[in-house]
Structure 1
Amino acid sequence: MAISFTKSFTIPLMLTICSTILRFGRSYDYPAAFNFGDSNSDTGELVAAQGFSLSLPYGQSYFNTPSSGRFSNGRLIVDFIMDAMDMPFLNAYLDSIGAPNFRKGCNYAAAGSTVLPATATSVSPFSFGVQVNQFLHFKARVLELREGKGGKKLDKYLPAEDYFQKGLYMFDIGQNDLAGAFYSKTLDQILASIPTILAEFESGVQRLYDQGARNFWIHNTGPLGCLAQNVAKFGTDPSKLDEFGCVSSHNQAAKLFNLQLHALCKKLQGQYTDGNITYIDIYSIKSNLIANYSRLGFQQPIMVCCGYGGPPLNYDSRIVCGQTKMLNGTLVTAKGCDDSSEYINWDGIHYTEAANQYVSSQILTGKYSDPPFSDKMPFLLKLKF
């Protein structure tokens, strides 16, 4: 008998069940996790690195403070995944305040990061190659400290040596390479750049593999054209929108990127015969959410929860969520909505906790992965999220 969940009570029940399921699946019983990405999985890296602070209502729905450094009102997909695997939330690599514990892994993802090397105009200097360098430094220092005097005392703070080989390496990056390019390049130029982006990504993965990494979990990129920021900038002409109100060109670029990323993953699956390469189709999950938002309990598929301007988008690029600013001679505030669980989009770029919860629940079914992992966890076949 299938068990179905509604949004109102999925968080505690779904995670309890999935946590049990994942512990049964030995192939997914990892001692640690190392994450690389952008703001979709940043747990405080960019905030710690650049010394700025987010403001409420960021973080209000779960952490009760914006100091978690997450670009959402609450938990991210990576948080739900870690919780489901019965592991603690990942601490940001550069966030040393509060004596973070890195025994179960580390997060190198930083908002605004790209796969390609950062430029002078980049939001984040922590491109994928830099994040890989940070990991290599982290690993070297961990091994050095553990080999020194008093290394045993660090057991509860730092990963064991074999965790680096047995751990899960997660990737969610590439969105900013595509979305940012639309401000200066044509669609054809962007599509032509995808092989270069993926060559850089492959190089980083190869470096991790050479360091002993064997378990790779690679997310593709979501429907960029459905983010309010892109609709506001590039969707003023209705002919450029699809039937869901998303910018067609952005989604076209995301689809081609994902097609080639999938091909790369298949190549790596054949190349790394002693490894596990899992490709996760985030695009399909998010597209299904937007197309079927009402049936899934949401009321707003594209309009922003925390923003300014009112319907249809409630988004103004001149003012960010939580900020008060003088616009056109009037002091205004980009406020949060009354009920964030009704919205998919949080601030024009990022998802709400409720939407992140839905996406993570779909990832955990295993049916959006290649290879599918439900066959390794038979209990999943009896569940319907």
Structure 2
Amino acid sequence: MGAQTLVVPGNFPIGCFPSYLTTGVSGVSNNEGYDPITGCLTKLNEFSEYHNKMLQTKLNQIRELNPNVVVIYADYYNAAMQIYNSPDEYGFTNGVLKACCGGGGPYNYNASIRCGDASTILCDEPDKSVSWDGVHLTEAAYKLIFKSLFQGQYTTPEFYSLCPRPSTSKGTVISSSSI
């Protein structure tokens, strides 16, 4: 169809999302089934990792069949996991597994209460939260993931090997903070 460059995202670590943590996984009780470091549901994150592995296998096949097309895998899983593994390091201090805007409970998520409803519980500092509503991430989390993908090591091939940074007429690099 003429595409020259494609970016294909992998799956997030869904076992860390408040919506999944609230509904749980059958067979998981007490602390069993939860990662001792992150508190995420292990089986759901293993499922995300398996999905991403299978996706990368298919992308490699597509690359072989289409050598003139650049197919970039965006590793959303590991870009996000850095936040869950070290939330304080990135400024996420409002409970990394709790939704900022939600319906109460241990993860501030209730499928019957939508963000914006009269009974919604809203955090004071969304930029210090990872999850916005239990299903979507906050702007701050997406910003860190973006930087990790486009300025870091979480794409295959890495973006910098394909798209060198633009420079100004003086030869200085334009930073993402100036965009």
Query: TM bucket by the smaller chain?
Result: 0.7 to 0.9
Q: Distance in 2 between matches of 1:293 and 1:280?
A: 21
Contact kept? 2:108, 2:121, Cα under 8 Å: no
SS state of the match for residue 354, structure 1?
A: helix
Pair 1:229-2:19 in alignment: yes
Contact kept? 1:367, 1:374, Cα under 8 Å: no
Match of 1:280 in 2: 74
Match of 1:365 in 2: 151
Match of 1:96 in 2: none
Match of 1:250 in 2: 44
Q: Distance in 2 between matches of 1:281 and 1:338?
A: 30
Q: Which runs of 5+ in 2 are unaligned?
A: 167-172
Contact kept? 1:228, 1:303, Cα under 8 Å: yes
TM-score by length of 1: 0.40
Contact kept? 2:15, 2:42, Cα under 8 Å: yes
Q: 1:316 aligns with which of 93, 103, 110?
A: 110
Match of 1:85 in 2: none
Match of 1:302 in 2: 97
Contact kept? 1:281, 1:368, Cα under 8 Å: yes
Between structure 1 and structure 2, the one with the greater Rg is 1
Residue 372 of structure 1, CA deviation: 1.6
The code of the aligned residue for 1:216 comes to: L
The code of the aligned residue for 1:278 comes to: I
Residue 335 of structure 1, CA deviation: 3.2
Q: Distance in 2 between matches of 1:318 and 1:378?
A: 46
Q: How many residues align?
A: 165
Residue 294 of structure 1, CA deviation: 0.5
| Aligned 1:142-291 pairs, distance under 5 A | 211-234=1-24, 237=29, 238-243=31-36, 244-291=38-85
Contact kept? 1:222, 1:283, Cα under 8 Å: yes
SS state of the match for residue 239, structure 1?
A: coil
SS state of the match for residue 252, structure 1?
A: helix
Residue 351 of structure 1, CA deviation: 0.3
Match of 1:29 in 2: none
What is the CA deviation profile of residues 336-356 of structure 1, one whole-angstrom value per residue up to 9, with x for unaligned ones?
211101100011111011111
| Aligned 1:75-114 pairs, distance under 5 A | none
SS state of the match for residue 217, structure 1?
A: strand
The code of the aligned residue for 2:123 comes to: C
Contact kept? 2:80, 2:145, Cα under 8 Å: yes
Higher relative contact order (CA 8 A, sep 6+): 2
Q: Distance in 1 between matches of 2:136 and 2:159?
A: 27
Match of 2:170 in 1: none
Q: Distance in 2 between matches of 1:361 and 1:269?
A: 25
Q: 1:352 aligns with which of 124, 138, 141?
A: 138
Would you tell me which structure has more helix in proportion to its own residues? 1
Contact kept? 2:127, 2:138, Cα under 8 Å: yes
The code of the aligned residue for 1:283 comes to: Y
The code of the aligned residue for 1:241 comes to: Y
Q: Which runs of 5+ in 1 are unaligned?
A: 1-210, 325-332
The code of the aligned residue for 1:231 comes to: L
Contact kept? 1:217, 1:278, Cα under 8 Å: yes
The code of the aligned residue for 1:218 comes to: V
TM-score by length of 2: 0.84
